[in-house]
Homo-oligomer: A and B are copies of this chain.
Amino acid sequence: MRDAYHEELDSIGEDLVEMARLVGSAIGRATTAILDADLKLAESVIAADQKVDDLQHDLEARAIALLARQQPVATDLRIVVTSLRMSADLERSGDLAQHVAKLARLRFPERAVPNDLHATILEMGQLAQRLMAKAAEVVITKDVDLALQLESDDDEMDLLHRTLFQHLMDERWKHGIETAVDVTLLGRYYERFADHAVSVAKRVVYLVTGEYADELQPPTGPVETGAVEGA
C-alpha cells in the first residue's frame, strides 16, 4: 500500500514538471507570436492552455484523494499540500502566457510591440521561459541552491521591466497610448509569470528546509519593485 502511495506522490511530481514544461513552452511561443504577429502561433498557445488546466484539475483531484485515502502526516502531508499550491502557480502562469498570445491575436495583423522595444520584450520572454525551466529543475532535483538562484534571475526581470518603463516614460515616446497600454500589460504579464516561477521554487525550499517565512512574502508586483518607481 505504501508503495502505491509513493508511486502516486511521484506521479503528482511528474505532473508538476509536465505543467511547468507546458507553460514554459507557452510563454516562449507566445513571445514569438507577439513579436512576429503570428496569428496561428497565438491561436495554438491559446488553445494549448486547456491542457494545463486539465492537468491541474487532474492533479488536484488526485492530491485530495490521496489526502483522504492515505492520510499522510509530516513531510508527506507537506508535499501534497505544497503540490496543490505549485499547481495553482503553474496554472496561473499558463493563463499569463495565454494573455500574451491573446494580445498578439487582438492586434493582428499589426505587431503589438514596436521595434525599439522588440529586444526588451524578447529578453523578458526568454528569461520567463528560462525561469520556468529552472523551476521545473528545482521540482525534480529539490536543489535549494538552484531555487535561491531564481531570485536573482527575477531581479533581472525587474531590471527589464524597469527598462520597459523607461521607454514608456521617455518624452520621445512616439507610439501612442494604445501601444503604451499594451506594453504596460505585457510587462505585467511577464513580471507575474516570473513571480510564479520563483514561487514554485520557493515552495520546494519550504518542503526541503521546512523554512516557511519566504513563502509568506509572495513575490511583489511591478509597482513596489520599482518598475514604476524607477521610471
Across-interface contacts of A71 in B (CB, < 8 A): 71, 73
State whether A216 touches B64 (Cβ < 8 A): no
State whether A64 touches B78 (Cβ < 8 A): yes
Across-interface contacts of A177 in B (CB, < 8 A): 168-169, 173, 177, 180
A15-23, A87-95, A113-121: which lies at the B interface? A87-95
Indicate if A178 sits at the interface (CB-CB under 8 A): yes
Mostly helix, strand, loop or mixed at chain A's interface? Answer: helix
State whether B103 touches A81 (Cβ < 8 A): no
State whether B77 touches A64 (Cβ < 8 A): yes
Across-interface contacts of A231 in B (CB, < 8 A): 178, 181
Across-interface contacts of A182 in B (CB, < 8 A): 228
Copies of this protein in the complex: 2
Indicate if A221 sits at the interface (CB-CB under 8 A): yes
State whether B178 touches A224 (Cβ < 8 A): no
**CB contact between A165 and one of B77, B88, B98, B181 (< 8 Å): that residue:** B181
**CB contact between A169 and one of B57, B67, B178, B185 (< 8 Å): that residue:** B178
State whether A53 touches B217 (Cβ < 8 A): yes
For the complex with contacts A56-B216, A168-B177, A185-B228, 9 further pairs of A-B residues with Cβ separation under 8 Å are A64-B78, A99-B223, A169-B181, A173-B177, A178-B231, A180-B181, A181-B184, A184-B185, A185-B188
Across-interface contacts of A77 in B (CB, < 8 A): 64, 67-68
Interface residues of A in 131-186 (CB under 8 A from B): 165, 168-169, 173, 177-178, 180-182, 184-185
Indicate if A47 sits at the interface (CB-CB under 8 A): no
State whether A185 touches B81 (Cβ < 8 A): no
Mind listing 17 A-B residue pairs with CB under 8 Å?
Answer: A53-B216, A56-B216, A64-B77, A64-B81, A67-B81, A68-B73, A71-B71, A85-B88, A95-B220, A103-B223, A103-B228, A168-B178, A178-B231, A180-B180, A181-B228, A184-B185, A185-B188
